[in-house]
Each structure stands twice: as structure tokens, then as C-alpha cells.
């Protein structure tokens, strides 16, 4: 006869499942990224991610950047994005200014930024504009050794089939778990171990439980609904230790909980990043993997392959080519 130990696991979970990312190319209309969507900090974040992908491993990307002291006033000044290349015996600093205004970048903008770079010890400067540059500004930038980069929205790329990332995430309510033993049961437990002998915390056990809840073949069928869960979770090789050091084989765990499925749709945004002898075709989308929010970025290479990057923060990490 199976007996229960009900003293070990009972917790409220704001719970989550793996938050697997599902991409669908034919179900969602891509509305595009308007200029208002490239405003302010959003533009700076996208540029910082792009430069983090392209800069390489010996570069540090900061956005917002640390403040650099103005040589004239002695006061600190901030750049939108700062890239520092460490070459061992010396460092090279590049500052990037992101312009999202309704008008193209003009000569006064270039001159002001060039002076700011010179007075803060920056070795090279880049202006990224979502609204292009006046021709006179490009001439002035070349004279002041400032690189002009256009980040322009495009309608679509022939090589890109998907139009959106669709994410599904299960949100669990209260989780009640009872550890089940064959015949006898310990009076009190001090620890639980998995089949590899790794001690599991209560949170780790609850994570195993939520990941063990069967997933629907089509998560769309679960969106917006409440699902009760009564589950018999097998735990082969798991053991429990009591307060006296005795080891007890765990038969299984009885689970009662419920969950709802939440759905998010993130439009894929397509841009060209052009300037300084470079021309990048880029597709990106905000996404969430587990509890980590970040951005997927796809960059088209010269050999017609596509590099895919997941950037949870200011540093790019290539995950697929």
C-alpha cells in the first residue's frame, strides 16, 4: 500500500513552463516597424545589439555608456553607445550617436557630435540615423572623420519567410506535490536527490514538475483556457534522506495544480544597416525564452547564408549559422 508524505512540497508558483518559441511564417501579418517604433531608447538598444554582434569578442559594448570626462569642462558626458576594443597594449574607443528625429541629420548635428567625441577622448565616431542624412551632413561627416550609418526599414527580404515569432507560455497556479513511498515512510525529510545523486531544492523539484506536465500538440488549443492538472509523476532513481541519514526510495510524486496558456506575437522587423562601406540585411524580433527577455537577430551573409543571434543583453551570442 502506498503511503504519503505531505510535509515536503507545497508552494505557490507564479509559475512558468519553458516558454518555447514557435515561429510561424504564414499566420501573422507583418505590419512593419514605423519610425515611432525606432524612437529613443529602442533605437539605441537595437544599435547596441547590432554592434555587439559585429564587434567581436575583444570589444565591450555599453548602452547607456559610462560617462566620459569632457577635457574642457571637466564634467562627465554620456554617449548613446560606446564600443571599447581592447588590444592589450592599448584601447580604441568608438562612440555612436543614435538619431531618431523626424528630420534628416544635418551639418550642425555632425559638428556637435564630432566636437563631443574630440573633447571626451573618443577615437572614432558614428552617427546612426533612422531618417537619413542631408547631403551636406555626409560631406561634413567625411571631413570630420565621422561615419554615417543609415538604419532604414525595408518592406521585406526574399530570403526571409517568417513574419512573426509566436511564443506560448504556461502560467501555473498553486502547486501541491506529495512525495509517495512504498509501504513505510520517513517521519521527516531533510533532502531529496535525483537519479544522478544531485540534491534538489524545492524550487528545482517544482520546476521538474511543471516541465513534466504534458504539452498539447498544438499550444494554440490551450490559449486563454484554465486547465486543472492531476498528475502521477514517476521519479525513477530518486531518493529521500531523513533527518537521521536514512535513505528512502521515492516511488512517485502526486501533483495537483492548474495552468493557463499565454500567447505573445512578436513581429519580425526588417532593416538595412548601411554605411562606412558596409551593407547589412537584418531581421529582428523581440522574444522571451523561459524567463529571459531578449531579441532574435538574423543577419544575411555575403554567401547567402543567414547567421542567427540571440541577444539577451547588450552582448550578441551567435547560436546558429
pLDDT tens by residue, 8-22: 333 322 232 333 332
User: Residue 39: what pLDDT?
Assistant: 60
Is there a single domain that holds both residue 223 and residue 192?
yes
Residues 172-218: pLDDT tens digits? 998 999 999 987 788 888 999 999 999 999 889 988 998 899 888 88
Residues 79-97: pLDDT tens digits? 999 999 887 788 899 999 9
User: Residue 45: what pLDDT?
Assistant: 83
The answer to whether position 30 is within a domain reads: no
Which residues, 6+ apart, have CB-to-CB distance to 200 below 8 Å?
192, 193, 194, 208
Is there a single domain that holds both residue 244 and residue 292?
no
C-alpha distance across the termini of the chain, in Å: 55
Is there a single domain that holds both residue 140 and residue 275?
yes
User: Residue 290: what pLDDT?
Assistant: 65
User: Residue 147: what pLDDT?
Assistant: 96
Is there a single domain that holds both residue 69 and residue 201?
no
Residues 39-91: pLDDT tens digits? 667 788 888 888 888 877 778 888 877 899 999 999 999 999 999 988 778 88
CB burial class (10 A; 0-12, 13-18, 19+) of residue 255?
A: buried
Please give the residue that has the higher pLDDT: either 319 or 182. 182
What is the CATH number for 277? 3.40.1350.10
Is there a single domain that holds both residue 199 and residue 171?
yes
**How many domains does the chain divide into?**
2
Domain that residue 192 falls in: 2-25+164-265
**175 sits in which H/E element:** strand 174-182
Is there a single domain that holds both residue 232 and residue 206?
yes
Reported pTM: 0.64
Is there a single domain that holds both residue 139 and residue 272?
yes
Is there a single domain that holds both residue 139 and residue 88?
yes
**249 sits in which H/E element:** strand 247-249
Please report how the helices 107-119 and 135-143 are oriented relative to each other, as an axis angle in degrees rounded to 10. 20
Amino acid at each position: 500500500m502506498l503511503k504519503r508524505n505531505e510535509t515536503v512540497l507545497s508552494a505557490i508558483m507564479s509559475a512558468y513552463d519553458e516558454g518555447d518559441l514557435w515561429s510561424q511564417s504564414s499566420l501573422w501579418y507583418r505590419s512593419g516597424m514605423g519610425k515611432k517604433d525606432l524612437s529613443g531608447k529602442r533605437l539605441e538598444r537595437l544599435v547596441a545589439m547590432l554592434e555587439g554582434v559585429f564587434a567581436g569578442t575583444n570589444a565591450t559594448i555599453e548602452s547607456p555608456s559610462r560617462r566620459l570626462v569632457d577635457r574642457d569642462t571637466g564634467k562627465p558626458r554620456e554617449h548613446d553607445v560606446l564600443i571599447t576594443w581592447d588590444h592589450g597594449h592599448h584601447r580604441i574607443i568608438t562612440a555612436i550617436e543614435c538619431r531618431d528625429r523626424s528630420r534628416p541629420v544635418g551639418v550642425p548635428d555632425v559638428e556637435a557630435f564630432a566636437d563631443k567625441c574630440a573633447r571626451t577622448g573618443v577615437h572614432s565616431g558614428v552617427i546612426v540615423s533612422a531618417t537619413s542624412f542631408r547631403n551636406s551632413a555626409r560631406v561634413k561627416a567625411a571631413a570630420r572623420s565621422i561615419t554615417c550609418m543609415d538604419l532604414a526599414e525595408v518592406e521585406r527580404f526574399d530570403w526571409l519567410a517568417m513574419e512573426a515569432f509566436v511564443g506560448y507560455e504556461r502560467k501555473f497556479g498553486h502547486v501541491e506535490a506529495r512525495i509517495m513511498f512504498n509501504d513505510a515512510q520517513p517521519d521527516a525529510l531533510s533532502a531529496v536527490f535525483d537519479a544522478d545523486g544531485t540534491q534538489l531544492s524545492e524550487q528545482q523539484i517544482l520546476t521538474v514538475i511543471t516541465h513534466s506536465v504534458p504539452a498539447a500538440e498544438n499550444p494554440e488549443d490551450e490559449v486563454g483556457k484554465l486547465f486543472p492538472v492531476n498528475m502521477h509523476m514517476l521519479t525513477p532513481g530518486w531518493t529521500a534522506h531523513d533527518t537521521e541519514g536514512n535513505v528512502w526510495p521515492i516511488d512517485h510524486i502526486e501533483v495537483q495544480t492548474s495552468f493557463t496558456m499565454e500567447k505573445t506575437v512578436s513581429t519580425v522587423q526588417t532593416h538595412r544597416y548601411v554605411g562606412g562601406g558596409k551593407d547589412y540585411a537584418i531581421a529582428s524580433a523581440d522574444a522571451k525564452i523561459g524567463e529571459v527577455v531578449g531579441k532574435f537577430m538574423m543577419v544575411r551573409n555575403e554567401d547567402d547564408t543567414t547567421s542567427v543571434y540571440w541577444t539577451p543583453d547588450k552582448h550578441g551570442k551567435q547560436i546558429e549559422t
